[in-house]
Chains A and B, each alone.
Chain A
Amino acid sequence: MFKVLKTLCIGALTVSAAATAAHAEWPKDRPIEIVVAFAPGGSTDVMARAMQPFLEKELGAKTVIVNKPGASGEIAYTYLSQAKPDGYTFSFINTPGYLSMQVQRKLRYDPKSIQAVARIVDDPTAYVVKADSPIKSLKDLIAQAKAKPGSVSVGTSGVGTDDHLAMILLEQAAGVTLTHVPFPGAGETRTALLGGHITTGGLNVSEFAGGDLSTIRPLVTFGDKRSPEAPDVPTAKEEGFEVFMSSERGLAARRDIPADIRAKFSEAVKRVVESPEFKEEAKKLALPLAYLSGEEWEQQMPKRLQSFQDIWNKTPWVQ
């Protein structure tokens, strides 16, 4: 009996000692893995690599960026959900993809096993036209779609992306039918737009703000207020259409990692986002920084998820 008790005690001591040791050492003893759900060179990857040195300084630890591209993020999120809950694996997550995939298909991981840690960027969706297009405003666009149904073609960077979801919401809000022309990415959309092959194209504010505006003209953004990066562009709400859409990027980890590690990491991200050096870097990349703590970000998600579920129930975008 005594022996058993002794073993138990020692066992418990070792476990707790190990646990505190892990907490105390974090994040010094080995590199923190930061998963990017997209291939090298994508905008999320570029952002991650731009942040890396700043984040390492704030954490006082080494980080490794690991690209796990595929299935619009599902492969990376599955990987994250299977990682050890020790605070050494974080992953970038992107909305609306992270949320809309929960609506549109059965996933290989349990979305509840992942928790947001910090939001970094909130990049409003926008529609742009060619610089010499006769369409001057969102109202013009809707008027044309009403006059000649099907004649307005909207280029997006794919099915279920923020540009596409914004289009569906706009169709419902304005009672029009638009022709959806999906492209594999923003570059292709822009090319088709410049060649005059589509009427309007969906881009994010960061994809045109600060860029060359001699060939394209932003029509409208779907932010809840005017974007500081593009202050001259009206929002859809100003034009009378209650459509909000943006693409957010941030970091997430397993829900069951130690709470203090999560808090420390979130704080470090916050300090990075607020540091003038990183702000300078972000300005070059036209990143609309918008830090939110994991808790604040998570609070917004159910509402957006519900709105996607509503769209899906009415018009499933994947057929």
Chain B
Amino acid sequence: MANRSELGRKGNKPDLLAGLIFIVIGALGLWAGRDLRMGNAAMMGPGYLPLIVSALILLIGLGVTIMGLMSSSEPIGVIRLRPLLIILLAVAGFAYAAGSLGFIIAAAWLIGIGSLADPETRLREIAASIVVLTIFGILVFIVGLGVQMPLGPF
């Protein structure tokens, strides 16, 4: 990290990230609500409170960013991409498969891919997890609790 020495002294990284998130969400709120009617205090339109709160979030974001720049340095902590990407991919795959391909394929994907997020996992364990959890899921959720999801792609 080349910039550690330059930025290392000042700059609370978590606060800077928080500020950025707030600014982005506040701006997004203002943009999404740009066409909403404001109205007035007596007859508030649908945009009245959302726009005020979006602006507030944006301001808080700016404030947190400034405070983060001025306060003493704090690192952001470890970031490992493997668990982040794999878990999100596994759940997204489940979302894609659940509607069309049915529970069995969706669950197998979720468990199989999801298990890869942990480097310690062994192949045999993944296979066992897939079988046990899928059967458990079918019995408890689909049959027992009547969750309305097709079992397979038929």
Output the least CB separation between B35 and chain A (Å): 12
Task: Report whether B148 and A66 are in contact in the complex, using a CB–CB cutoff of 8 Å.
Answer: yes
B34 interfacial contact with A, CB 8 Å: no
Residues of B near A67 (CB, < 8 A) are 148
Interface of B, helix, strand, loop or mixed by DSSP: loop
A319 and B148 CA atoms in complex are apart in Å by: 36
A66 and B45 CA atoms in complex are apart in Å by: 35
| Number of A residues with CB within 8 Å of any CB on chain B | 4
Q: Quick one: CB contact mask for B95-124 with A, threshold 8 Å, 1 for yes?
A: 000000000000000000000000000000
Which residue of A has the minimal Cβ distance to B46? A319
Output the least CB separation between A307 and chain B (Å): 26
Which residue of A has the minimal Cβ distance to B154? A30
B10 interfacial contact with A, CB 8 Å: no
Residues of B near A319 (CB, < 8 A) are 37, 45
Give the residues from 48 to 69 in chain A that come closer than 8 angstroms, CB to CB, to chain B: 64, 66-67
A67 and B146 CA atoms in complex are apart in Å by: 12
Residues of A near B148 (CB, < 8 A) are 64, 66-67
A319 and B37 CA atoms in complex are apart in Å by: 8
Give the residues from 48 to 94 in chain B that come closer than 8 angstroms, CB to CB, to chain A: none
Which residue of A has the minimal Cβ distance to B39? A319
Residues of A near B45 (CB, < 8 A) are 319
Residues of B near A64 (CB, < 8 A) are 148
A136 and B142 CA atoms in complex are apart in Å by: 53
Which residue of B has the minimal Cβ distance to A68? B148
Output the least CB separation between A115 and chain B (Å): 25
Which residue of B has the minimal Cβ distance to A66? B148
Which residue of A has the minimal Cβ distance to B37? A319
Q: Which of A66, A67, A319 has the most chain B CB within a 10 Å cutoff? A: A319
A67 and B37 CA atoms in complex are apart in Å by: 33
Residues of A near B37 (CB, < 8 A) are 319
Give the residues from 127 to 180 in chain A that come closer than 8 angstroms, CB to CB, to chain B: none
Output the least CB separation between A63 and chain B (Å): 13
Q: Quick one: CB contact mask for B20-42 with A, threshold 8 Å, 1 for yes?
A: 00000000000000000100000
Which residue of B has the minimal Cβ distance to A33? B148
Output the least CB separation between B60 and chain A (Å): 30
A66 and B150 CA atoms in complex are apart in Å by: 11
Output the least CB separation between A151 and chain B (Å): 15
Which residue of B has the minimal Cβ distance to A65? B148
A47 and B144 CA atoms in complex are apart in Å by: 23
Residues of B near A66 (CB, < 8 A) are 148
Output the least CB separation between A88 and chain B (Å): 13
Output the least CB separation between A45 and chain B (Å): 12
A67 and B149 CA atoms in complex are apart in Å by: 11
Q: Quick one: CB contact mask for A295-319 with B, threshold 8 Å, 1 for yes?
A: 0000000000000000000000001
What are 5 sample pairs from A and B whose C-beta atoms fall under 8 A apart?
A64-B148, A66-B148, A67-B148, A319-B37, A319-B45
Closest 5 CB pairs of A and B: A66-B148, A319-B37, A67-B148, A319-B45, A64-B148
